[in-house]
Structure 1
Amino acid sequence: MRNHIRIEGSELTMLQNAKKVGQADPNKQMSVTLYLRRSAIQSSLETKINEIAERPLSERQHFNHGEFANTYGVDSEDIKRLEDFANRYNLDIKEVNRSAGIVVLSGATASLNQAFGVELADYEHPDFTYRGHTGHVYIPEDLADVVQGVFGLDNRPQARPHFRLMNENEVLSQNRAKGVSYKPNEVAKFYNYPSDVDCSKQCIGIIELGGGYRKEDITAYFKDLGLPEPQITDVSVDGGKNKPTGDPNSADGEVGLDIEIAAAVASGAKLAVYFAPNTDAGFLKAITTAVHDKDNKPSVLSISWGSSESKWTNQSIKAMNQAFHDAAALGVTICCAAGDRGSSDGEKDGLAHVDFPASSPYVIACGGTKLEGKDGKITKEVVWNEKKYGATGGGISDVFDPPKWQADAKVPTSANPGDRKGRGVPDVAGNADPVTGYQILVDGKQFVVGGTSAVAPLWAGLFAIINQKLGKPIGLANPDLYKLPSKDSAFHDITSGDNDSTEEHGSYKADQGWDACTGLGTPDGDELLKALNASLHDVSK
């Protein structure tokens, strides 16, 4: 287009097995989300975050929401330029989040086609229909230094939930043994979580891209556990709502699992559940809404949705990673599920892949184990790998370089050709095998559920406890976790198993120390708290 240039990293292709059925209705009203640069001093934010993370806990000070907005919010002149652009193409500005760098525009499909140089069409896939485009998104040349990403033109599903309902007929037939299951607070006991901690001053944010929960299930579940029912606030993002489908094997299973585990292990914590559409725009908006939420102010986020890095556009990864970057500055710890399809992450190209957003260096990637225990003690724990019935994700990022805090972790090169050195995934682990899964209540029925989806809220609950006991948020925790010496006994080192679920591509094996199946290991909550508390009160560290 004349005077338009393409946004690098915005290119899309038609989904495999989909077919184009016609042009999108030119008169239909729709919205798009623009991700903008922040102030001219945004480049200093990464340096600032690294400085914060490298300081001992005793000296660590995060931004509050007001300070962050004033220092790193979108420049008012850039908003003025967006207003001129919107007027030029008959679009309306519906929302501005200066702190997050988000502007939402709405207008007719025809106007958006012209504004962004795309031809929106309707597509049919065997599993769903979607509106989308192929090729790049374009913006006027005079906005090239302002607009860093455009999301929502294409509304194909972006991510999948990482949970697995226990199916005894399938999984147990290969094990030739009966499975066991636990209540979330029993798993917390195995991991020696600090007990009798009132987390009522903490808020855990949970990202959900579909499904919902029934209040009567939550009431009944926590009554059965003998624990107080959590206070839950539903936050609607881009029209997303708490809307249970009635099918536990749908996203309802994810929502119920996240809420019930997080609230069971961090008793008294408030929960803010951010419901958003399962699109690139919805996922991004859910995260920026949660990170910059001045009302609920979650200090921990749990994210159990994701997909292989290869399924994301570069503009999506860049924008979401920046949102996680903001979270680190604001003192928000983010726990992400590492995936349930082994080292391939479900891809069928014969290569190893890791899941995003777990691969972001600004989140804690949570892998999975198979845990067996008795009388509150772990008797055996290995890498979760039930082959085609599920295995923990993990490996080497194709996108992110090794972060500074993994320098001494002996992260191997990628199992793929080329021996790439990249960010190692996961960072930590927890019980995830459905064979040793969690007892939850969804849509009025009891189920046993596993998946790394369970590990993200399990660790989110632990960080809520730690924040409560320390009296301040730890924020970006990875630098602290990787500094802990083995003598602190903060982790159970998992040394048995691998995450090759297909035997058709490279995979990774458990080993002493960090590995690309279970990271640093599973937690000893009391010992982890002691180690972090010692750091908080020792200014020499």
Structure 2
Amino acid sequence: MSSRRHRLTALAAVVLLACSAFSAACTPQHRAVIAGPVAALLADSTDLGPSASGDVQLTVTLADASGAQTLTTWAAARGLWVRWRAGNEWAVVEGAAADVARVFDVPVHDYRAPQGRVFYASPEQPDTPTELRGTVTAVGRIMSFTPYRTKSPGFFPLDVPKGGLTPQGLVDAYNATPLIDAGFTGQGATIVFFAFDSADQADLDMFADTSGLPRFTPEIVGGQPAEQHGETAMDLQVAHAIAPDARLVVVNARPTVEGDGPYEKLGALFESVNRDYPGAVWSLSIGWGCEAFVTAADLAPVEAALAAAQRRGTSVFDASGDTAGLECKGGEQWSAPPGPDDVGLDAVASLPAITSVGGTTLSTGKNGQWLAEHAWVDSPLSQGTSGGVSKLYERPPWQKRLTVARDTQGRRLAPDVSAVADPFTGVRFIFGQREMMGGGTSQSAPIWAGLTVLMNQYLMANGGHQLGNINPLLYRVAAGSRLPGFRDVRRGGNAVDMAEAGYDLATGLGTPNTYNLAQNFLDLQRAGVR
């Protein structure tokens, strides 16, 4: 760790020494060297010198949509251009690297990552230009590197004790059987999975045939990804086990991490899915980097697209991550001892509008009944449920009543809820024509997506409506409801936090008692609570 600190110190020194040569207006009070994982990435990469890119971009947020014209005029006078769409309270400023560096008074260099990828980045956080203060509220990062990954443990056990959780065992464990027995099986509903890999139809058929479920063929949007790692196969089969009559859609999200502007691309992808599948339930089991790599301004396109989808009844579940609370750690440094800079949240899962799903180890009886759960962690493999305190977002209203010792500034807390994630107590699925056991919070997210489809059907059949942004209702139920909606997880922990009574940063509010939750949600909807 000491050598890493020396590299970061040296990087900061080089940046500051270059200040006077770069710009006469460069003064210490507006030179914000980015520390943490970004500095570590740049220190481990090869600096290729000032970027030669002809198109560098950064996202800005606006005080209101009327500021777009002011921003456009300002940019044009300085050799830059702006992309903006009417009504948006964010915009993208673009230009040649040299011009962006000059206008925002920060260096922009090209780097070669240890894996060989070349990207542009600034080691400093650009400030809002003086002329735009009052118009622009925040400025994003200048960086075309996105440290994306799939949120799964990276392996699936081949020895499946007693076959793993069967579809019946899964719905029994989370008390969804009364909904299924009442005829709520997903008919007419849609679950959308955002994925980086694909699934083999032969595996899906084998799972359905050996589980006593109807065969299904998912719709593919954006082309079939070439790679197969088991992630998408698991997600589809888990959701099908819960809601066997739901339409399942796989959206190829890989283009969002090809080139720069990943969060603008992700926002556009969300908009497209919302347009084509209104009111669907979404499941995300992939990550677009931890919070330390971005600012809230970078995520503005994603946040706006989420809000629009939720207004049409969409609920969104995102895996909290499998790094035991160390979401800013990974890549080539995975085996190094963890440090403070490694602690953090997945950037997209930290959005207040997302329901972040953590993971547990599940114990069931011989007949599949729920016995106990504790926070999932596997110390030898440096894996486990992730969660923590956001550095980007303030505490949303529905979390205001919570008290967490590690949060002294009133920030967004994650995860919100949990489900089984331990790959040694997971759901049976088929991959490569072999039985395997699912795992990771990438299993937990589609579990909640499938259960939400059943709850939506129950609500609509009883005069209610789709849940949409489910977070406010989850916390309202936890604060006090007619029926216990959650199984509180009080044992275990991850590398940073411990599970405890009530809300905690390892498992959130707990795991679902689905039928009770559905009845509580109906009570709230009848009372006019949203």
CA contact (8 A) 2:140 2:295 kept: no
Distance in 2 (CA, whole Å) between partners of 1:99 and 1:255 is: 35
Structure 1 residues 284 and 457, CA, compared in 2 at 3 Å: closer, same or farther? Answer: farther
Alignment partner of 2:188 out of 183, 194, 201: 201
Distance in 2 (CA, whole Å) between partners of 1:8 and 1:197 is: 58
Match status 1:304 vs 2:285: yes
- 1:352-371 correspondence to structure 2 within 5 Å: 352-371=343-362
Equivalent residue of 2:384, what SS?
A: coil
2:275 alignment counterpart: 294
1:268-317 CA-to-partner distances (Å, cap 9, x unmatched) read 23425251333773244324531563222244322223344334334335
Alignment partner of 2:173 out of 190, 203, 208: 190
**Shift, 1:382, TM fit:** 1.8
1:78 alignment counterpart: 68
**Shift, 1:131, TM fit:** 0.8
CA contact (8 A) 1:401 1:422 kept: yes
Distance in 1 (CA, whole Å) between partners of 2:247 and 2:31 is: 42
- 1:244-393 correspondence to structure 2 within 5 Å: 244-246=226-228, 248=229, 253-267=230-244, 268-271=246-249, 273-275=251-253, 276-278=255-257, 281-291=261-271, 293-306=274-287, 307-317=289-299, 320-345=302-327, 347=329, 348-350=338-340, 352-373=343-364, 374-389=366-381, 390-393=383-386
Percent identity between the two aligned chains: 22
CA contact (8 A) 1:165 1:448 kept: no
Letter in 1 for 2:249: L
Unaligned runs of 5+ in 1: 41-73, 236-240, 501-505
**Shift, 1:459, TM fit:** 0.8
Distance in 2 (CA, whole Å) between partners of 1:114 and 1:422 is: 34
Letter in 1 for 2:379: K
Match status 1:478 vs 2:471: yes
Structure 1 residues 120 and 538, CA, compared in 2 at 3 Å: closer, same or farther? Answer: closer
- What TM-score do you get using the length of structure 1 for normalisation? 0.73
Distance in 1 (CA, whole Å) between partners of 2:214 and 2:145 is: 40
Letter in 2 for 1:20: T
CA contact (8 A) 1:205 1:274 kept: no
Letter in 2 for 1:37: L
Structure 1 residues 358 and 10, CA, compared in 2 at 3 Å: closer, same or farther? Answer: farther
1:341-399 CA-to-partner distances (Å, cap 9, x unmatched) read 22344652247544333333222121111112232312332221222322211333344
Aligned-residue CA RMSD (Å):
4.1
1:469 alignment counterpart: 458
1:100-147 CA-to-partner distances (Å, cap 9, x unmatched) read 556667776666666766655432232341312222347876656556
2:111 alignment counterpart: 123
1:211 alignment counterpart: 197
Structure 1 residues 34 and 157, CA, compared in 2 at 3 Å: closer, same or farther? Answer: closer
* Number of residue pairs the alignment of both structures matches: 476
Distance in 1 (CA, whole Å) between partners of 2:436 and 2:40 is: 37
1:430 alignment counterpart: 419
Unaligned runs of 5+ in 2: 1-22, 330-337
Match status 1:400 vs 2:400: no
Equivalent residue of 1:158, what SS?
A: coil
Structure 1 residues 4 and 476, CA, compared in 2 at 3 Å: closer, same or farther? Answer: farther
**Shift, 1:331, TM fit:** 3.8
Letter in 1 for 2:354: V
Alignment partner of 2:152 out of 163, 175, 186: 163
**RCO (CA 8 Å, sep 6+): is it higher in 1 or 2?**
1
1:503-541 CA-to-partner distances (Å, cap 9, x unmatched) read xxx522332x32222222111211111111232334599
Distance in 1 (CA, whole Å) between partners of 2:293 and 2:219 is: 32
CA contact (8 A) 1:343 1:395 kept: yes
CA contact (8 A) 1:35 1:319 kept: no
**Shift, 1:15, TM fit:** 1.0
Structure 1 residues 19 and 166, CA, compared in 2 at 3 Å: closer, same or farther? Answer: closer
CA contact (8 A) 1:18 1:124 kept: no
